[in-house]
Amino acid sequence: MKTVVLVKQVPDSGAERRLRDADHTIERESADNLINEMDDYAIEEALRLQEAHGGEVTILTMGPTQAAESIRKALSMGPDQAVHVLDDALAGSCAVATSAVLAAALRTLSPDLVLSGAESTDGRVQAMPHMVAERLGIAALTGARKLTVGGDGTLTVERQTDEGYEVVTAATPAVVSVWDTINEPRYPSFKGIMAAKKKPVSVLSLADLGIDPGEVGTAGATSAVVSHQERPARSAGQKIIDQGDGGVKLVEFLASEKFV
Amino acid sequence: MRLNEEHQALRDSVRDFAREVVAPVIATHYEEHTFPYEIVRQMGKMGLFGLPFPEEIGGMGGDYLALCLAVEELARVDSSVAVTLEAAVSLGAMPIYRFGTEEQRRRWLPKLVTGEALAGFGLTEPGSGSDVGATQTRAVLDADREEWVLTGSKVFITNSGTDITSLVTVTAVTGTEPDGSKEISTIVVPSGTPGFTVQPGYSKVGWCASDTHELAFEDCRVPAGNLLGERGRGLAQFLSILDEGRVAIAALAVGLAQGCIDESLRYARQRHAFGSPIGALQAIQFKVADMETRAHTARLAYHDAAARMLAGEPFKRQAAIAKLYASESAVTNAREATQIHGGYGFMNEFPVARFWRDSKILEIGEGTSEIQRLVIARDLGL
């Protein structure tokens, strides 16, 4: 099976991040750049499927020059190769434009399976897997907590919902997005780190993909951020005083926040 | 002195592992004096036990500096886990890799380099530590049965009594040299050999989640083929292993010294006194600055010793300097970090309390500070 994993480089969500006043984009220097956390789980899932069923795993990243670091890190976990879509005109691309670029790159790779994290920790749009699948005209199985491949290549996914899970199936090719409940990603070993240096990374420009620069980047964005402000300071918590119904109130709170 | 990209990537990978896998559970192991098997299993999967060994024997194809970086990053979070790796590789597997025959390597190394098995290094005895030549444990060759018969005991042996310990390498007196001195050789004793008893674990001040035992050998018979390397070369072998081990222990000490800084910075920013975070007070700033200076200098010292080792140059003096300075820095940093934490620093639930308890052994194990000074002075020709 040929699997492509969509990997995005994002600013460390654990660090304090700032937006630029001029164009409301993130100050890349304000935080370390990492692989989007959920994408680690997608890479791990691809490697587990490869170990069980064979095939090859390719990393696909759209991002600026420094995204190469994340590509190398992803490769050190074990994938065979990577494709880096790199073009100055891509800066400021919206989700819709990004999906067009990723879909164009995926067409050149013709994978059986496209894996991605269910969301990115910077944008949190959660729409990329759907949009990519729509553009490619293939099924989207999103929010998976479990993925199995049948003997005939049928994909079966346990799709995590707020109340439980749904079992959905699709034939390949398909896009599957995963949550962090699906597996425990491996840590790169030294052998993996050394091997990653020698793995092929092909760089594609918008011209290579036949995309007009005017359709992407800030110029082609379907939405624009017009203003931003600091997150308000944390407000005081809600105090529950037990008047015989404390337990019920606690459960109500937990249920309203979907903890139970 | 700069790390190459691969060493940096490895360091980052182990740093993530230590924070995400070790930090959340290690305090419980420490408190309950239990060996962290699950952490060790995951370290094995990551290839940490195979770092300095070639790929042909199942290793990672890295070098000794790679091992040191992994040990440092682990020790930044916890020393028990760090010393488990350090001892398993540099004291457990390394003598077999370095001095073993093809057959011995094939037999014992595959599981040691993956961390599926651990090996101990039996050198120290109840009556002899630094004075290795005073070894009392004896091994007599029973020529008829082609077996070594061991009698004696060893103390403070790391990784010697875990469920996955496969063997202990033991130094023993095997005869008398022509000049009348003891002939010391190294013999491999597999776990479970009749006559080899592992005593119950110690109650230790620190390193409470690492495995340490006293070992007894009574009419303990192993095949003659378990002699490791040449007969009579035991002392020289172990001294060379100890030189390397000192660099790794220096790395461990740097990790602990750095961990003290990490925790102190975190605490100094959040703890308020007299209307500001205590980190705004010069008394705290100067302490932290001195802690950072010690950790940085000690790191450079061990990187230098490791670089010389990898270049095949003499590094005995530099290893001793690194071990001496790093261990004393670790003790000082742990004391200062505890002071910065005030009363909380005296509570076992705070990492700095663990660091404080774990630091003292660094001035003792793998050659005391006094021995390091002796090595340095001798190397200077005194």
CA distance B3 to chain A (A): 14
> Which pLDDT score is estimated for B285?
98
Between chains, do A193 and B47 touch, taking CB under 8 Å as contact?
no
- A259 to chain B, any CB pair closer than 8 A? The answer is no
- Distance separating alpha carbons of residues B155 and B175, to the nearest angstrom: 22
How far from A98 is each of A178, A211, B281, B287, CA to CA, in Å? 19, 11, 49, 50
Between chains, do B55 and A73 touch, taking CB under 8 Å as contact?
no
Q: Which residue of B has its CA nearest to A75?
A: B9
- Distance separating alpha carbons of residues A189 and B214, to the nearest angstrom: 34
**Cβ pair A117, A36 in contact under 8 A:** yes
- B131 to chain A, any CB pair closer than 8 A? The answer is no
- Distance separating alpha carbons of residues A73 and A59, to the nearest angstrom: 11
From the list A76, A187, A191, which residue is nearest B60 (CB)? A191
Residues 36-75 on A with a CB inside 8 Å of B are 72-73
Q: What's the sign of the alpha-carbon dihedral A45, A48, A52, A55?
A: positive
Cα B269 to chain centroid, rounded: 33
> Which pLDDT score is estimated for B234?
84
Q: How is residue B99 written in tokens? A: 């001095």
Tell me the per-residue pLDDT of B207-253, one tens digit each, with 9 for 90 and over. Answer: 999 999 999 999 999 999 999 999 998 888 888 888 899 999 999 99
**Residue A257 pLDDT exceeds 90:** no
Arithmetic mean of pLDDT, B2-19? 95
- B267 to chain A, any CB pair closer than 8 A? The answer is no
- Contact list in B for residue A76 (CB cut-off 8 A) is 9, 13
CB pairs under 8 A between A and B: 43
CA distance B220 to chain A (A): 39
CA distance B151 to chain A (A): 41
**What mean pLDDT, rounded, does chain B reach?**
95
Interface test with A, best of B8, B38, B46 (most A CBs within 10 A): B46
- Distance separating alpha carbons of residues A179 and A51, to the nearest angstrom: 20
**Residue B56 pLDDT exceeds 80:** yes
**Residue A173 pLDDT exceeds 80:** yes
Nearest-5° angle of CA A94, CA A99, CA A105? 130
- A32 to chain B, any CB pair closer than 8 A? The answer is no
Amino acid at A17: R
**What mean pLDDT, rounded, does chain A reach?**
92
Phi, psi of A99 (to 5 degrees): -65, -35
Between chains, do B9 and A76 touch, taking CB under 8 Å as contact?
yes
Q: Which residue of B has its CA nearest to A197?
A: B6
Between chains, do A187 and B51 touch, taking CB under 8 Å as contact?
no
Between chains, do A191 and B46 touch, taking CB under 8 Å as contact?
no
Q: Which residue of A has its CA nearest to B59?
A: A191
From the list A76, A186, A190, which residue is nearest B60 (CB)? A190
**Residue A73 pLDDT exceeds 80:** yes
Arithmetic mean of pLDDT, B353-367? 96
Q: Which residue of B has its CA nearest to A194?
A: B6
Q: What is the pTM of this model?
A: 0.89
**Residue B376 pLDDT exceeds 80:** yes
Tell me the per-residue pLDDT of B156-190, one tens digit each, with 9 for 90 and over. Answer: 999 999 999 999 999 999 999 999 889 999 999 99
Is the ipTM value over 0.90, yes or no?
no
Arithmetic mean of pLDDT, B360-365? 96
Residues 24-83 on B with a CB inside 8 Å of A are 42, 45-47, 51, 55, 60-62, 66
CATH architecture for segment(s) A2-220 = 3-Layer(aba) Sandwich (3.40)
Q: In which band, very low, low, confident or very high, does the pLDDT at A230 lie, cut at 50, 70 and 90?
A: confident
A253-258, Cβ contacts within 8 angstroms, sequence gap of 24 or more: A258/A162
- Contact list in A for residue B13 (CB cut-off 8 A) is 76, 187-189, 193
> Which pLDDT score is estimated for B131?
77
* Cross-sheet strand order for the sheet of A139-149: A165-170, A155-160, A139-149, A174-178, A113-117, A2-6, A56-62, A81-85, A201-204
Between A19 and B353, residue with greater pLDDT: B353
> Which pLDDT score is estimated for B371?
94
Arithmetic mean of pLDDT, A81-102? 95
From the list A72, A73, A190, which residue is nearest B47 (CB)? A190
Between chains, do A190 and B45 touch, taking CB under 8 Å as contact?
no
> Which pLDDT score is estimated for B192?
96
Arithmetic mean of pLDDT, B85-104? 95
Q: In which band, very low, low, confident or very high, does the pLDDT at B364 lie, cut at 50, 70 and 90?
A: very high
Nearest C-alpha neighbor of B187 from the set B110, B98, B96: B96
- Distance separating alpha carbons of residues B233 and B84, to the nearest angstrom: 26
Question: Tokens 């008893």 identify what position?
Answer: B197
> Which pLDDT score is estimated for B303?
98
- Cβ neighbors of A234 (< 8 A, separation 6 or more) are none
User: What structural domains and CATH numbers belong to chain B?
Assistant: 5-118 (1.10.540.10), 119-233 (2.40.110.10), 236-379 (1.20.140.10)
Arithmetic mean of pLDDT, B4-15? 95
Tell me the per-residue pLDDT of B255-302, one tens digit each, with 9 for 90 and over. Answer: 999 999 999 999 999 999 999 999 999 999 999 999 999 999 999 999
- Distance separating alpha carbons of residues B137 and B362, to the nearest angstrom: 26
Question: Tokens 């997150």 identify what position?
Answer: A231
- B362 to chain A, any CB pair closer than 8 A? The answer is no
Question: Tokens 């092929």 identify what position?
Answer: A200
Between chains, do B13 and A187 touch, taking CB under 8 Å as contact?
yes
Interface test with A, best of B10, B14, B21 (most A CBs within 10 A): B10
From the list B14, B42, B55, which residue is nearest A191 (CB)? B55
Arithmetic mean of pLDDT, A185-209? 95
Q: Which residue of B has its CA nearest to A192?
A: B60
CA distance B209 to chain A (A): 23
Q: In which band, very low, low, confident or very high, does the pLDDT at A159 lie, cut at 50, 70 and 90?
A: very high
- A35 to chain B, any CB pair closer than 8 A? The answer is no
> Which pLDDT score is estimated for B338?
98
Nearest C-alpha neighbor of B86 from the set B107, B69, B62, B105: B69
CB atoms under 10 Å from CB of B363, counted, come to 18
- Cβ neighbors of A197 (< 8 A, separation 6 or more) are A72, B5, B6
CA distance A195 to chain B (A): 10
CA dihedral B131, B134, B135, B141 (to 10 degrees): 140
Concatenate the DSSP letters of all residues of chain A into one string.
Answer: -EEEEE--EEE-TTS---B-TTT--B-GGGS-EEE-HHHHHHHHHHHHHHHHH--EEEEEEE--TTHHHHHHHHHHTS-SEEEEE--GGGTT--HHHHHHHHHHHHHHH--SEEEEES--TTT----HHHHHHHHHT-EEEEEEEEEEE-TTS-EEEEEE-SSSEEEEEEPSSEEEEE-TTS--PPPPPHHHHHHHHTS-EEEE-HHHHT--GGGSTTTT-S-------PPPPPPP------SS-HHHHHHHHHHHTT--
How far from A17 is each of A29, A32, A229, A235, CA to CA, in Å? 9, 10, 12, 20
Catalytically active residues of B, by annotation: 366
Between chains, do A187 and B61 touch, taking CB under 8 Å as contact?
no
Tell me the per-residue pLDDT of B138-163, one tens digit each, with 9 for 90 and over. Answer: 999 999 999 999 999 999 999 999 99
**Residue B1 pLDDT exceeds 80:** no
What is the enclosing helix (H) or strand (E) of B283? helix B282-310
